Amino acid sequence: MQDYKNDFIKWIKSNNFENLICIDNFEKITILDLSKQKIKNIPESICILKNLSVLKLSNNRIKSLPSSIGELQKLKNLQCENNLIEDIPVSISKLSNLLILNLNGNRIKKIPKELCLLTNLTRLTLAANKIKHIPKDLKKLDKLLYLSFDTNEIKKIPNIFEKMNELYYLDLSFNKLTNLPKSFSKLKELKTLLLEENKLENIELIEELKSLTKLNLTNNNLKKIDINFKKLCKLEVLILDENFLKELPNSILNLNNLIILSVSTNCLTNLPEDIDKLIKLEELDLEDNKLKALPNKIYKLNNLKTLYIKHNNKIKIPENLNLNYLDILGESYE
């Protein structure tokens, strides 16, 4: 133990961290923030910090975490965002009290099965890595509230959501997903679902997510929306940009709480005539479609303040629209 102590003090002094780490009494250190310090390595002797509960190592040049990190038994929050980490040490499984793990922006290719033993995790973020596969055992993390795998190389999600009853935020954007797992329908508390930049064609399972308030499906392979929106009555933000939609389902008119609707860069030729049923709608993006006219009842959208309609056909703009912002640049309108 004395050797570890001497080694850690030596590391502190060699990096000029005396102003960041008190070397007089390591047992008193519960929070350690070494973010943005140009650190290349973390010594094994960091395990001397037995009472550490928060460790922040983000925005450095760290290539690997020491195996001794598993000895930090009281650690609850580990932040390692924006480093050069390629592998997650298997000893991470010993961090039984860990609640938050942030490994965004690294070079991780594989999630070890040992990570799936961190059953107290509430927040797991592995965005912007090189992950291709998600282990089935991730289903053991049934206390997760927040999960992010965006900007990876994932083609398929196994049935991991069966018991994630409390998950409220899920980001799977910028991957290569072609379908959603059946267990997706079990996410009854999910409020935010981000699926942009994938290859999804069928999204029917989403209609079971009755707590959903934000849904982003930008740039997928959607030719139609096979969702009964009547089941998603809490939805406030719906983004369907850059797909191949020719029409919107009439069930969308059941979204009484919808504030933002964005369907730019599709193939829409018309909108549901009773669009005025979207009584809370404040922003409507119709840019870059094939619309020839707006619904007659659009003027009844009393809360509508922003309308984007450039790059369509010639459209007559109702004079009684009470807008704060109207984007019609690049087109000729009557």
**Backbone phi and psi for residue 277, each to the nearest 5 degrees, phi listed first:** -70, -15
What b/e string do you get for 128-164 counting C-beta neighbours within 10 Å, with b at 16 or more? bbebeebeebbbbbbbbebbbbbbbebeebeebbeeb
What are the tokens at 45? 């002797």
Superfamily holding 1-102: Ribonuclease Inhibitor (3.80.10.10)
What is the sign of the dihedral through the CA atoms of 276, 277, 282 and 286?
A: negative
Least reliable range by pLDDT among 56-60, 117-121, 269-273, 309-313: 309-313
In Å, how far from its chain's centre is CA 83? 19
CB-CB contact of 151 with 125 (8 Å) = no
Question: What's the predicted TM-score (pTM) here?
Answer: 0.94
Q: Phi-psi region for residue 265, left (φ > 0), alpha (ψ -120 to 50) or beta?
A: left
Reported as a pLDDT band with limits 50, 70 and 90, residue 334 is very low
pLDDT, tens digit, 9 for 90 and up, residues 45-82: 999 999 999 999 999 999 999 999 999 999 999 999 99
Which amino acid, 87?
A: D
Least reliable range by pLDDT among 20-29, 144-153, 261-270: 20-29
For the chain, give every domain's residue range: 1-102
